[in-house]
Amino acid sequence: MTHLAGIDIGGTKIAVCLGKPKEDSTGIEIVGKKQFPTPATAESAIRSLTEALDELLQPYGHAAPDAIGISCGGPLDSKAGLILSPPNLPGWDRIPIVSAFRKIYGVPVQLQNDANACALAEWRWGAGRGCQNMVFLTFGTGMGAGLILDGRLYAGTNDMAGEVGHMRMEADGPIGYGKAGSFEGFCSGAGIALLARTMASKALAAGNPPAFCPSEADLSGITALAVAEAARSGNALALEVFTVVGKQLGRGLAVLVDLLNPERIVIGSIYARQQSLLEPIVRDTLGREALRPSLSVCRVVPAGLGEQIGDYASLSVAWQALN
């Protein structure tokens, strides 16, 4: 094996990277990357990605990589290699992305949704390495899961396995995944901001403006990051927001522990950045909610691949395409 190519397709940016397996077989080294704003059409995106990949390959004298992995937000049909109108990619309707790159390069090409791709990466090279049963949670702009069960990726009947963000946690609450009170509503960047706005609005009405929102004019500008910074500074309302988030995260994890009996749950993005705020609350809730024998064999850990997880995710799909 010489080089693997990874393509990460998002609503605002797309990237292509080139990876080379390390000599000791412990991981993969990223040897080149190009990133740019997402073009208006799928056709122009494929053309731009092809040109960028050709440039990355040129110093190595290769016309093609050994395999190509594509990570993209759903919905999609990984078996047919189709991108099926993701909400963040308007106009990308039934795009045959796999056949397009297979035709150009003549190598194995595979497509996975971003949560599954991240699960593969963390399982192969990150915090889930060595596990037979692992759950990866995105916990970023949204909340989704990638499932490694019995040593292989489980995607479900039509690629919809792992949509944990749609689970109902409360009868009402912040809206996420189109549902008020959902797991994504409480445990995502957008959801945390919505929850904080609701709580800050009540505090303002009571004459107790929080530090992260001194006036009503500031409500629309509340972000999860601003609330986290206020919580770490000891702001009472911000800490209350993260207490709610931590409890709901713990309850959601308890469902996964009881249902899937994993040995590891790896959580990315916000959990990895705000572990000190969330971990004590999550552990306490898990201890009360989950089955003791199942919880005793499961560790909850932050993602290990850091801010480059998107690159490793697409490369892990390329790796899988060869096997």
User: pLDDT tens-digit profile of 34-78?
Assistant: 999 999 899 999 999 999 999 999 998 888 999 999 999 888 999
Say what the alpha-carbon torsion angle 31, 37, 39, 40 is, to the nearest 10 degrees.
160
* pLDDT over 90 percentage in the chain: 88
Q: Residue 38: name the closest of 1, 76, 89, 80 by CA.
A: 89
List phi, psi (to 5°) of 156. Answer: 90, -175
- Domain 134-304 class, CATH top level: alpha beta
Q: Looking at the structure, give the CATH architecture of the domain made up of residues 4-126+307-321.
A: 2-Layer Sandwich (3.30)
Cα separation, 93 vs 82, in Å, equals 9
Structural contact between residues 169 and 179, judged by C-beta atoms closer than 8 angstroms = no
Q: In the chain, where are the structural domains located?
A: 4-126+307-321, 134-304
The H-assigned helical ranges of 233-274 are 236-260, 269-273
Structural contact between residues 164 and 147, judged by C-beta atoms closer than 8 angstroms = no
Q: Do domains 4-126+307-321 and 134-304 have the same CATH topology?
A: yes
pLDDT for 25 equals 63
Q: Which residues of the chain have pLDDT under 50?
A: none
Cα dihedral sign for 121, 127, 131, 134?
negative
